[in-house]
Amino acid sequence: MSEQQENIDKKSNKNGMMEHTKSNEISDGISGQRLNLIIALCAIFISAASFYATYLQANSAERQVKAMTLPLIQFATGNWDLEKNQRSIKFSIQNAGIGPAIIKTATFKYKDQSFINPRDFLKACCEDSFNKYTEIKSFKKEKEILMDGKLVTSGLRNNMIIGQSNTDFLILSNGEDTNILLNKLDEERRYLSLEICYCSLLDECYTTEQSGIFEQVQQCPMISEENMSQDRKPLKA
Protein backbone atom coordinates (compact mmCIF):
# COMPACT_ATOMS: atom_id res chain seq x y z
CA MET A 1 0.00 0.00 0.00
CA SER A 2 1.32 3.34 -0.98
CA GLU A 3 1.92 6.19 1.46
CA GLN A 4 -0.71 8.25 -0.33
CA GLN A 5 -3.35 5.56 0.19
CA GLU A 6 -2.51 5.32 3.92
CA ASN A 7 -2.99 9.05 4.33
CA ILE A 8 -6.39 8.84 2.61
CA ASP A 9 -7.49 5.99 4.92
CA LYS A 10 -6.37 7.88 8.08
CA LYS A 11 -8.22 10.97 6.98
CA SER A 12 -11.36 8.93 6.27
CA ASN A 13 -11.21 7.23 9.71
CA LYS A 14 -10.72 10.59 11.45
CA ASN A 15 -13.75 12.07 9.69
CA GLY A 16 -15.86 9.04 10.66
CA MET A 17 -14.90 9.35 14.31
CA MET A 18 -15.76 13.05 14.34
CA GLU A 19 -19.18 12.39 12.81
CA HIS A 20 -19.86 9.60 15.34
CA THR A 21 -18.88 11.86 18.25
CA LYS A 22 -21.09 14.68 16.94
CA SER A 23 -23.99 12.25 16.53
CA ASN A 24 -23.59 11.10 20.14
CA GLU A 25 -23.47 14.70 21.36
CA ILE A 26 -26.72 15.48 19.51
CA SER A 27 -28.33 12.31 20.86
CA ASP A 28 -27.23 13.14 24.42
CA GLY A 29 -28.55 16.68 24.06
CA ILE A 30 -32.05 15.50 23.01
CA SER A 31 -32.21 13.01 25.92
CA GLY A 32 -31.27 15.77 28.37
CA GLN A 33 -34.00 18.04 27.11
CA ARG A 34 -36.57 15.28 27.42
CA LEU A 35 -35.38 14.46 30.93
CA ASN A 36 -35.68 18.10 32.00
CA LEU A 37 -39.19 18.25 30.53
CA ILE A 38 -40.24 15.08 32.36
CA ILE A 39 -38.84 16.41 35.63
CA ALA A 40 -40.69 19.71 35.17
CA LEU A 41 -43.98 17.93 34.40
CA CYS A 42 -43.55 15.69 37.43
CA ALA A 43 -42.95 18.73 39.64
CA ILE A 44 -46.10 20.40 38.33
CA PHE A 45 -48.13 17.23 38.88
CA ILE A 46 -46.83 16.80 42.43
CA SER A 47 -47.58 20.44 43.23
CA ALA A 48 -51.12 20.11 41.86
CA ALA A 49 -51.70 16.90 43.80
CA SER A 50 -50.38 18.51 46.98
CA PHE A 51 -52.64 21.53 46.50
CA TYR A 52 -55.68 19.29 45.91
CA ALA A 53 -54.89 17.21 49.00
CA THR A 54 -54.60 20.37 51.09
CA TYR A 55 -57.92 21.60 49.73
CA LEU A 56 -59.64 18.32 50.58
CA GLN A 57 -58.17 18.37 54.08
CA ALA A 58 -59.29 21.96 54.67
CA ASN A 59 -62.75 21.22 53.29
CA SER A 60 -63.06 18.15 55.50
CA ALA A 61 -61.98 20.14 58.57
CA GLU A 62 -64.54 22.84 57.76
CA ARG A 63 -67.31 20.25 57.48
CA GLN A 64 -66.25 18.67 60.73
CA VAL A 65 -66.35 22.01 62.55
CA LYS A 66 -69.75 22.77 61.05
CA ALA A 67 -71.10 19.37 62.08
CA MET A 68 -69.78 19.86 65.62
CA THR A 69 -71.52 23.23 65.92
CA LEU A 70 -74.76 22.41 64.08
CA PRO A 71 -77.90 22.82 66.23
CA LEU A 72 -81.24 21.18 65.45
CA ILE A 73 -84.28 22.80 67.05
CA GLN A 74 -87.56 20.93 67.61
CA PHE A 75 -90.85 21.93 69.23
CA ALA A 76 -92.49 19.54 71.69
CA THR A 77 -95.62 19.63 73.83
CA GLY A 78 -97.07 17.19 76.36
CA ASN A 79 -99.85 16.91 78.93
CA TRP A 80 -98.32 14.76 81.65
CA ASP A 81 -95.59 15.36 84.25
CA LEU A 82 -93.71 12.08 84.58
CA GLU A 83 -91.77 13.20 87.65
CA LYS A 84 -94.82 14.30 89.64
CA ASN A 85 -97.09 11.73 87.99
CA GLN A 86 -99.89 14.23 87.37
CA ARG A 87 -101.45 16.28 84.57
CA SER A 88 -99.43 19.23 83.38
CA ILE A 89 -99.30 21.06 80.06
CA LYS A 90 -95.78 21.77 78.91
CA PHE A 91 -94.42 23.49 75.78
CA SER A 92 -90.69 23.15 75.21
CA ILE A 93 -87.92 23.71 72.67
CA GLN A 94 -85.44 20.86 72.22
CA ASN A 95 -81.99 21.11 70.68
CA ALA A 96 -81.38 17.67 69.18
CA GLY A 97 -78.12 18.84 67.57
CA ILE A 98 -74.60 19.05 68.96
CA GLY A 99 -73.82 22.77 68.92
CA PRO A 100 -75.64 25.53 70.83
CA ALA A 101 -78.56 27.34 69.19
CA ILE A 102 -79.36 31.02 69.64
CA ILE A 103 -83.08 31.61 69.19
CA LYS A 104 -83.60 34.78 67.16
CA THR A 105 -87.35 34.70 66.46
CA ALA A 106 -90.29 32.53 67.52
CA THR A 107 -93.77 32.86 66.03
CA PHE A 108 -96.78 31.11 67.53
CA LYS A 109 -99.35 30.27 64.87
CA TYR A 110 -102.87 29.32 65.83
CA LYS A 111 -105.81 29.10 63.43
CA ASP A 112 -104.57 31.71 60.94
CA GLN A 113 -103.35 34.01 63.72
CA SER A 114 -99.75 34.75 64.64
CA PHE A 115 -98.25 35.85 67.96
CA ILE A 116 -94.79 36.51 69.31
CA ASN A 117 -95.32 35.44 72.93
CA PRO A 118 -97.15 32.51 74.54
CA ARG A 119 -99.54 34.61 76.64
CA ASP A 120 -101.02 36.19 73.52
CA PHE A 121 -101.59 32.69 72.20
CA LEU A 122 -103.35 31.75 75.46
CA LYS A 123 -105.64 34.74 75.14
CA ALA A 124 -106.55 33.70 71.60
CA CYS A 125 -107.05 29.98 72.18
CA CYS A 126 -108.58 30.00 75.63
CA GLU A 127 -109.93 33.51 76.24
CA ASP A 128 -112.73 32.73 78.72
CA SER A 129 -110.77 30.23 80.80
CA PHE A 130 -107.62 32.39 80.69
CA ASN A 131 -109.57 35.44 81.88
CA LYS A 132 -111.09 33.35 84.66
CA TYR A 133 -107.64 32.20 85.73
CA THR A 134 -106.38 35.80 85.69
CA GLU A 135 -109.27 36.93 87.91
CA ILE A 136 -108.61 34.17 90.43
CA LYS A 137 -104.89 34.95 90.45
CA SER A 138 -105.49 38.67 91.03
CA PHE A 139 -107.98 37.96 93.81
CA LYS A 140 -105.71 35.50 95.63
CA LYS A 141 -102.71 37.77 95.21
CA GLU A 142 -104.63 40.63 96.81
CA LYS A 143 -105.75 38.35 99.68
CA GLU A 144 -102.29 36.81 99.91
CA ILE A 145 -103.63 33.32 99.24
CA LEU A 146 -101.53 30.70 97.48
CA MET A 147 -102.70 29.51 94.09
CA ASP A 148 -103.65 25.87 93.62
CA GLY A 149 -101.89 25.31 90.31
CA LYS A 150 -99.56 27.60 88.45
CA LEU A 151 -98.96 29.05 84.98
CA VAL A 152 -95.37 29.87 84.07
CA THR A 153 -94.33 31.35 80.71
CA SER A 154 -91.06 32.72 79.37
CA GLY A 155 -89.83 34.34 76.16
CA LEU A 156 -87.65 32.58 73.61
CA ARG A 157 -85.89 35.41 71.80
CA ASN A 158 -82.11 35.53 72.20
CA ASN A 159 -82.12 32.43 74.40
CA MET A 160 -79.23 30.04 73.97
CA ILE A 161 -80.02 26.33 74.09
CA ILE A 162 -76.99 24.06 74.34
CA GLY A 163 -76.82 20.83 72.37
CA GLN A 164 -78.80 17.82 73.57
CA SER A 165 -80.89 19.89 75.98
CA ASN A 166 -84.29 21.57 76.13
CA THR A 167 -85.96 24.60 77.65
CA ASP A 168 -89.59 24.93 78.76
CA PHE A 169 -91.35 28.15 77.82
CA LEU A 170 -94.87 27.32 79.03
CA ILE A 171 -95.83 25.16 82.01
CA LEU A 172 -99.38 24.89 83.33
CA SER A 173 -99.63 22.63 86.36
CA ASN A 174 -102.94 21.10 87.35
CA GLY A 175 -104.85 22.44 90.34
CA GLU A 176 -108.20 23.75 91.45
CA ASP A 177 -107.43 27.23 90.10
CA THR A 178 -105.97 26.07 86.78
CA ASN A 179 -108.12 23.04 85.96
CA ILE A 180 -110.51 24.85 83.60
CA LEU A 181 -107.66 26.52 81.69
CA LEU A 182 -105.68 23.29 81.56
CA ASN A 183 -108.58 21.35 80.02
CA LYS A 184 -109.15 24.04 77.39
CA LEU A 185 -105.45 24.35 76.54
CA ASP A 186 -105.15 20.58 76.25
CA GLU A 187 -107.85 20.66 73.56
CA GLU A 188 -106.48 23.65 71.65
CA ARG A 189 -102.72 22.92 71.69
CA ARG A 190 -103.11 20.56 68.73
CA TYR A 191 -103.86 23.62 66.56
CA LEU A 192 -100.67 25.38 67.59
CA SER A 193 -97.60 25.45 65.35
CA LEU A 194 -94.32 27.14 66.05
CA GLU A 195 -91.96 28.76 63.58
CA ILE A 196 -88.43 29.38 64.81
CA CYS A 197 -85.36 31.01 63.32
CA TYR A 198 -82.10 30.27 65.11
CA CYS A 199 -78.36 30.62 64.56
CA SER A 200 -75.27 28.59 65.43
CA LEU A 201 -72.10 29.94 67.03
CA LEU A 202 -70.65 30.23 63.51
CA ASP A 203 -73.44 32.73 62.75
CA GLU A 204 -75.10 30.31 60.34
CA CYS A 205 -78.87 30.68 60.61
CA TYR A 206 -81.72 28.25 60.00
CA THR A 207 -85.50 28.21 59.97
CA THR A 208 -87.64 25.24 60.90
CA GLU A 209 -90.28 23.88 58.55
CA GLN A 210 -91.35 20.84 60.50
CA SER A 211 -89.98 18.74 63.31
CA GLY A 212 -86.41 17.65 62.50
CA ILE A 213 -86.24 19.54 59.19
CA PHE A 214 -84.52 22.89 58.75
CA GLU A 215 -83.57 25.28 55.97
CA GLN A 216 -80.49 27.50 56.00
CA VAL A 217 -81.06 31.24 55.54
CA GLN A 218 -78.73 34.21 55.28
CA GLN A 219 -80.13 35.80 58.43
CA CYS A 220 -83.17 35.66 60.66
CA PRO A 221 -85.93 38.19 59.97
CA MET A 222 -86.98 40.88 62.40
CA ILE A 223 -90.43 39.93 63.71
CA SER A 224 -92.83 42.36 65.37
CA GLU A 225 -96.56 42.71 65.87
CA GLU A 226 -96.77 44.67 62.59
CA ASN A 227 -95.33 41.94 60.36
CA MET A 228 -96.97 38.83 61.74
CA SER A 229 -98.40 37.99 58.31
CA GLN A 230 -95.25 36.35 56.93
CA ASP A 231 -96.05 33.33 54.81
CA ARG A 232 -93.88 30.46 56.10
CA LYS A 233 -94.37 26.77 56.73
CA PRO A 234 -94.80 26.19 60.47
CA LEU A 235 -93.20 23.66 62.78
CA LYS A 236 -95.78 21.16 63.99
CA ALA A 237 -95.39 19.29 67.23
- Specify whether the backbone of 209 is left (phi greater than 0), alpha (psi in -120 to 50) or beta: alpha
Q: Are residues 65 and 142 in the same domain?
A: no
Regions in the chain scoring below 50 on pLDDT: 26, 229-237
Q: Are residues 118 and 223 in the same domain?
A: yes
Q: Are residues 2 and 116 in the same domain?
A: no
Domain span holding position 164:
70-236
SS3 65: helix
Q: Residue 4: what pLDDT?
A: 54
Number of domains the chain is built from: 2
Question: Rounded to two decimals, what is the model's pTM?
Answer: 0.70
- For 113-161, the DSSP string reads EEESSHHHHHHHHSHHHHHHHHHHHHHHHHTT---SS-EEE---TT-EE
Please name the helix (run of DSSP H) or strand (run of DSSP E) that holds residue 166, with its range, or none: strand 165-173
Q: Are residues 59 and 135 in the same domain?
A: no
Q: Are residues 149 and 169 in the same domain?
A: yes
Q: Which of 38, 69, 100 is the last residue of a domain?
A: 69
Residues 16-27 pLDDT 10s: 555 555 555 545
Q: Residue 109: what pLDDT?
A: 94
- Say if strands 165-173 and 113-115 run parallel, antiparallel, or are unpaired: unpaired
Q: Are residues 164 and 121 in the same domain?
A: yes
Report, in this order, helix, strand and coil percent for the chain, each rounded to 5: 45, 30, 25
Residues 151-174 pLDDT 10s: 999 989 999 999 999 999 999 999
Q: Which of 44, 69, 94 is the last residue of a domain?
A: 69
Q: Residue 36: what pLDDT?
A: 79
Q: Residue 48: what pLDDT?
A: 81
